[in-house]
Amino acid sequence: MNKIDNIRIALVLIVAVFLFGCSNNGNKEQQTIDFGHYEYIGTIDNTKDTSFYRFNSTHFDSLILSYKYEEAASYLKCYFFKDINKQEIVQRKIQELLLKAEHLNIKHYNQNIQNTFWGCEFGCSREQVISRLKEQGFAVDKEYSTNNHILFNYPQSRFFSFGEMDWDFLKVSFKNDKFVRIIFEKVSKNQIDAINYYEDIVSVISSKYNISDDSIVDNSIIRMSSGFCPSVNGIRRVFIGCDRYYPYGSQDIWYRASLVYSEEKNVKKVSDEL
């Protein structure tokens, strides 16, 4: 057998291997398509344009901002960085998202959290809030209020009632003249009393919503718990806290238990285009 015959046999084998490989690839359920920075790994629908499979980072970021970790993990599963060394990092990120989803779904997540207080709904104007709370007997404390943060007094008595509990202070916050946060506070000079009141609040709120203890990163905070639910444009939260603070003009430490409801809008991603 001469050299030319060997070359011919080699070419036949190469063609045979190529055809065999093509036929096997056609039977595979999963395929890989290279899109430059990302690769799609999964079932390919030949009826769709390949742009359908491109990774949408803006969509992924919106899922994270909305605390939809499980959905974000599922979305990320379909995409891997072209660099093989980064695939392990992406896999770890998927696992991290799934763990967050499990934690939130069990302990923090709620279908709904109230957004209306004495007829004041999140998103209504500053003037509407002041008017409606005035009808309930509250008055603006002008000395300690600003356009974005209002402290309300209840002149009729030292305490006012909300949720069948007594409170000392009512604070309301605004962003762009829209109602976004309401804070109920119970204060004490005794830390044990404040913690006990905090636990009473937690007991009441946990009978209504899914909440759990949060990690503490502030030395002034003693205890805190929270829960959340998705809203139309962002996240609605309920927060219970117990902290130490210095009252206005005082050098003595006081303690307070707080119940906070808020609605936060998703922050739009800044464009990276010049």
**Cβ–Cβ under 8 Å, residues 253 and 244:** yes
* Phi, psi values for residue 160, rounded to 5°: -130, 160
Residues 173 and 244 reside in one and the same domain: yes
Helix axis angle, 69-77 to 57-65, nearest 10°: 160
How far, in Å, CA of 51 to CA of 154, rounded? Answer: 60
pLDDT score of 155: 87
Which one, of 242, 247, 157, 246, lies nearest residue 197 by Cα?
Answer: 242
Residues 183 and 254 reside in one and the same domain: yes
How far, in Å, CA of 106 to CA of 269, rounded? Answer: 29
Final residue belonging to a domain, choices 57, 88, 108: 108
Count of domains forming the chain: 2
Final residue belonging to a domain, choices 43, 76, 108: 108
Better-predicted residue by pLDDT, 154 or 63? 154
Q: For residue range 242-270, list pLDDT tens digits in order.
A: 999 888 777 889 999 999 999 987 545 44
Say if pTM beats, i.e. exceeds, 0.75. Answer: no
Residues 257 and 145 reside in one and the same domain: yes
**Largest separation between any pair of C-alpha atoms in the chain:** 112
State the residue range of the domain holding 134.
116-265
How far, in Å, CA of 170 to CA of 17, rounded? Answer: 77
Residue 142 lies in a domain: yes
Residues 88 and 122 reside in one and the same domain: no
How far, in Å, CA of 13 to CA of 5, rounded? Answer: 12
Residues 152 and 60 reside in one and the same domain: no
Tokens matching residue 89: 């990092």
Using alpha carbons only, how large is the chain's radius of gyration in Å?
29
Residues 70 and 159 reside in one and the same domain: no
- The mean-pLDDT minimum among 164-178, 229-243, 256-270 falls in 256-270
Say yes or no to pLDDT of 208 above 90. yes
- Terminal-residue alpha carbon distance, the chain: 66
Tokens matching residue 272: 């990276």
Query: How many residues can be counted in the chain?
Result: 274
